[in-house]
Each structure stands twice: as C-alpha cells, then as structure tokens.
Amino acid sequence: MAATPLSALAGVIRSKNAGPTQLTIDIFFHDAPAYARAAAGAALSESAVAALYRLDTAQVQRYLLPGIQAMKFTLPRRICAGNPGDGDVYGAQQHAPLLGVLL
C-alpha cells in the first residue's frame, strides 16, 4: 500500500492544552480501515510521536479509541502556557508536525 499522509486519512487533527502544563492531541480518522492502519503501524507509536516533538518516549501517553476511530496523545508542554518564551498559549497549533506523517 502506498504511504499516505495522516492529513488524508483523518478529518480532525487538533491540539490543545490540557491545563497549562500539558498538551493533548486528538486525531479522528475518516473510517475504521484508516484507524486500523494507523493503530497497527509504527508511524504514530509513542516513540515516533515523541521523536516528532523532541521528547522522550516515556513523556508521551497514547490512548486508542477504536469505537470512535480516534487516537489521542498527551505530552508535556515545554514551557508552561503563557509564561515568557511560550509561542502558543492555547496550544492550538501544535498539531502541524503530525499532518505530514506517512502511514
């Protein structure tokens, strides 16, 4: 199967703060096959996502929700939201590195 970017397989790919110290990323896939492909592959493993966000694998928590064809990642924010030096107070634009992940 040809590799497909995540942005073509999911209808919602979003990031947001879960409190000022954590970031949470939700991915809602178009259908069950797309979800299954992502869940089975290594491209969206905890270690792959950790590498993408320059974190250690242990810092990334992945949740699988096959019932709604969704996947969730929770990771620490590098800087507490809105503290000097932060670039995204709401954490709403931290999804971008995932869009091009090939599945």
Partner 1 sequence: MTATERLLQTHRPADGPLRVLAASGQLGYGIPQAAFERGMQRRPHFIGCDMGSIDPGPYYLGSGEMAAPAPMVRRDLELVLGAALAAGIPLVIGSAGTAGAGPQLDATVAILLEIARDQGLRFRLTTVRSDLSAAQVIAALDQGSLAPIGPMPQPSRDEVLECTHIVGQCGSETLARALQTPTDVLLAGRACDTAIFATLPEMLGYPMALCLHMAKIVECTSLCCRPAGRDAMLAELALDGFTLESMNPDAHATPASVAAHALYEQADPFEVDEPGGTLLLRDAHYEALDAHRTRVSGAQFRPRARATLKIEGAARVGERCVLLAGVADPTMLGCLPQALRAVEERVRHLVPGDWALHSHVYGQGAVHPLPGEHHSRHEAGLVIEFIATDAALARTAAGVFKQNLLHYGYPGRVSTAGNLAFAFTPSEIDAGTAYRFVLYHVMRDAPLHDIFRIGSVAVGGPLAH
By CB under 8 A, is residue 100 in contact with partner 1? no
Cβ atoms of 72 and 24 within 8 Å: the answer is yes
d(CA 60, CA 88): 19
Q: Which stretch binds partner 1 (CB under 8 A): 1-9, 14-22, 29-37, 39-47?
A: 14-22
By CB under 8 A, is residue 58 in contact with partner 1? no
Q: Helix, strand, or coil here: 26?
A: strand
Q: Which of 35, 44, 62, 94 binds partner 1 (CB under 8 A)?
A: 94
- Dihedral sign computed on CA atoms, order 24, 27, 32, 34: negative
Strands (E), 37-81: 61-65, 70-76
By CB under 8 A, is residue 7 in contact with partner 1? no
Residues forming the site for partner 1 (CB under 8 A): 12, 16-22, 24, 26, 28, 54, 61, 63, 65, 67-68, 70, 72, 74, 76-77, 80-90, 93-94, 96-97
